Amino acid sequence: MTPRILVAGRDAQQRAWLRHYLQSIWPDIDPPTLDPDKLLAHATTISIQRHDALLLCTSFASHHGEESDGIRWLRALRRERQLPPIVVIAAHGNELAAVRAIRYGAAAYLPGDVLDARLLGGTLRRLAHASRRRRQRAVRAQRRPGEGNLPQLPGYTLLHELGRSARAGVWLARSDALERPVALKVSLPAPPGEPAQAFANEYAAIAAVRHPAIVDIHDYGVHDGREFIAMEYFPCGDLRQRLQHPMRPGEALQYARRIAAALEVVHGSGMLHRDLKPPNIMLRADGSTVLIDFGLAKLVDSRGNDTALGVLRGSPYYMSPEQAQGMPLDGRSDLYSLGVICFEMLTGRKPFHADSPMELMEQHVNAERPDVPDALAQWRPVLARLMARDREQRFRNAAEALASLDALAAIESEGASHAA
């Protein structure tokens, strides 16, 4: 599971360096950054409920007997009891500085000059695990009366939590009716007086499409003020997990064709996905792919002006230029996201990186798309169409994109036969 990390530090180069290390361990991580001067002002939003660890990058050098910046910050932060574990990335420190940092509340002290991805990853995995356990205890201790320790849903036995967001938890559960495991998405309790409608759009979107390439919904309802959706469980994981290991171009092409075919189904039903990214592409044991998470899906002819919501909740790494600008969307926005995914599958990296979501979105709008290596030259025309900044230059629809990918597969197959 990818930890939720916050990076605090003044040095932009150091923040970029840490981002590189973190993404070499967890490719999908996108840690927010904060100037240390703003830590205390934002302390109420920097909690164990939202973050697994805080990386504090600062100097532990003392001048003329004055207290170092690192100790000064730790001394101030120790008064905030809800902060996540603090991992110090220390510059100009020594053994005495390490002892003092731990004494003032640091969970770990890592000298910046010897830091590597292995040391950082091991430390954060250990702290994230402990942080999740503390978070679960804090949630149990702070539950509102009648909320209970776990969601209690008739007909389901909750086995363990698969993940959690700000609005819901996803559980591996056993369905009494189906007599098999399901993924059970359960909303957090709605505030008093407000209806439970967190999943209404997602349920309506998925229920309108019945196809093997779209996640299968088994059940939907509301119980004790909580919405729930019971859906297909995918023990093979998602494309994000698969991308943690190198992928052959032929394998990437097969995934791209399956995703394009799924988009053809979604768009053919009159919807846009609007949040296409590797974590929302699940894998079955037979190699097929399935689209999930239609919480941002929208009817193509919908008149509701909620594009801005998509900008805020869509993933900046995979967002089309028009979505980043808050413009009305059509199916070509999902095709741009498919192009970003193709680039990542082929190269092992995302096409654009930045220190903030806003900078990242600006790159989608204005930056030139990086090229792929010459060994992947046959992909260049397809990527150019999928990721064109001007959507008028993209494929007109998913069917056209799929036809181009099929043609590429035929070319590669013919080349392989000649090589044999």
Q: What is the distance of C-alpha 134 from the center of its chain? A: 22
In contact, 238 and 278? CB cutoff 8 Å: yes
Q: Which two tokens stand for residue 230?
A: 């019971």
Q: Which two tokens stand for residue 292?
A: 């999930």
Q: How far apart are CA 74 and CA 97, in angstroms?
A: 12
Strands 281-283 and 86-91: unpaired
pLDDT for residue 393: 97
Burial of 305 (0-12, 13-18, 19+ CB in 10 A): exposed
Question: Where in the chain do CATH 1.10.510.10 domains reside?
Answer: 239-419
User: What CATH number matches the domain at 5-141, 2.60.40.10, 3.40.50.2300, 3.40.1280.10, 1.20.58.390?
Assistant: 3.40.50.2300
Q: Find out whether 19 and 5 touch, Cβ atoms under 8 Å.
A: no
Q: Which residue has the higher pLDDT, 175 or 301?
A: 175
For 30, 207, 364, 384, the CA distances from 176, given in Å and listed in that order, are 38, 21, 46, 49
pLDDT the model gives residue 297: 63
Helix (H) or strand (E) run with residue 262 in it: helix 249-268
Q: Tokens 């003020």, residue? A: 225
pLDDT at 145 over 70: no
Indicate the fold that domain 156-231 takes in CATH.
Answer: Phosphorylase Kinase; domain 1 (3.30.200)
pLDDT confidence of residue 312: 41
Mean of pLDDT values over 97-115: 86
How far is residue 107's CA from residue 180's CA, in Å, rounded to a whole number? 41
Average pLDDT, the chain: 82
Q: Which of the given ranges, 27-31, 189-193, 216-220, 304-308, has the highest pLDDT on average?
A: 216-220
Work out the percent of the chain whose per-residue pLDDT is above 70: 81
How would you classify the pairing of strands 226-231 and 180-187? antiparallel
Radius of gyration (C-alpha) of the chain in whole angstroms: 23
Where in the chain is CATH 3.40.50.2300? 5-141
Task: Say if residues 84 and 130 touch (Cβ distance below 8 Å).
Answer: no
* pLDDT value for 134: 62
Domain with CATH 3.30.200.20 in the chain: 156-231
Nearest Cα neighbor of 53 from 26, 71, 13, 72 is 26
Q: Name the residue with higher pLDDT: 26 or 409.
A: 409
- Tell me the pLDDT tens digit for each residue of 204-259: 777 777 889 999 888 888 888 788 999 999 888 899 989 988 899 999 999 999 99
What is the DSSP code (8-state) at residue 44? G
Report the pLDDT averaged over residues 264-276. 91
Write the CATH number of the domain with boundaries 239-419. 1.10.510.10
pLDDT, residue 196, reads: 53
pLDDT of residue 148: 44
The DSSP 8-state label assigned to residue 46 in this structure reads S
Residues assigned a catalytic role:
275
